[in-house]
Structure 1
């Protein structure tokens, strides 16, 4: 009986644990995102100033509007889309934060398929 009570207490404490999220810390700043493209690790850099984001990838800049839904979720919409795919807004959700960056989930607005990634804050 004692083991069952101890297990229940441990399960209750761990089940209520939520990682701390300080999403407000990431509304503005300079960040790096690393991913694989055609089997090669590539880095993109972006600068966010609350409602605007400038992405720099392979020497090319692209600008998107940022519409915050709540403290940890926002919609990115490309301001200068070059094709149909770039016209589709992206829903971003910050899942966890740390002093160095955050992890997030993203996908096209209305699409159930989501991917995950992590971002590192760049100290300037």
Structure 2
């Protein structure tokens, strides 16, 4: 029995870090993103196809190009930036997926500071 304990520990350790990701399911569709900003729940909705994302937030519409690095990572670049902050592209990495959404990590390209969020798919293509 003692010989099998290290093997069991290795199997359990690996299973904790091999989260199943079905990122292909989220390359296109209509999505909802909610986050707290200054203690207030804010919501945005966006439509994404393989190469473009159109977001509606607080009555304003914004368009970004989408460049997929691999099945679970992509770069968003604002097509009409209104300032220096909007000119910097955003790197998004899908960490885990469920049937209806995904959890992700995001930040400006080149910046080590990252944030996390969760998106829910609200429309099937």
Task: Please give the TM-score of this superposition, normalised by the length of structure 2.
Answer: 0.92
Q: CA deviation at 1:24?
A: 0.6
Residues of 1 paired with 2:97 and 2:5: CA distance?
Answer: 29
1:21 maps to 21
- Give 1:107's aligned residue: 107
Cα distance, 1:6 vs structure 2: 4.7
SS at match of 1:122: strand
Aligned length: 122
In 2, distance between residues paired with 1:109 and 1:26? 21
Which sections of structure 2, spanning at least 5 residues, go unmatched? none
What is the aligned partner in structure 2 of residue 46 from structure 1?
46
1:39 Cα deviation after fit: 1.0
TM-score by length of structure 1 reads 0.93
Deviation string 1:4-31 (CA, Å, 9 cap, x unpaired) is 5454233211222211111111100011
Which whole-Å CA distance do the structure 1 matches of 2:5 and 2:43 have between them?
A: 44
SS state at 1:16 partner: helix
Alignment match, 2:73: 73
2:120 corresponding residue in structure 1:
120
Moved over 4 A (4+): none
Q: What's 2:59 paired with?
A: 59
1:23-38 maps to which residues of 2 (within 5 A)? 23-38=23-38
Q: Are 2:88 and 1:88 equivalent residues in the alignment?
A: yes
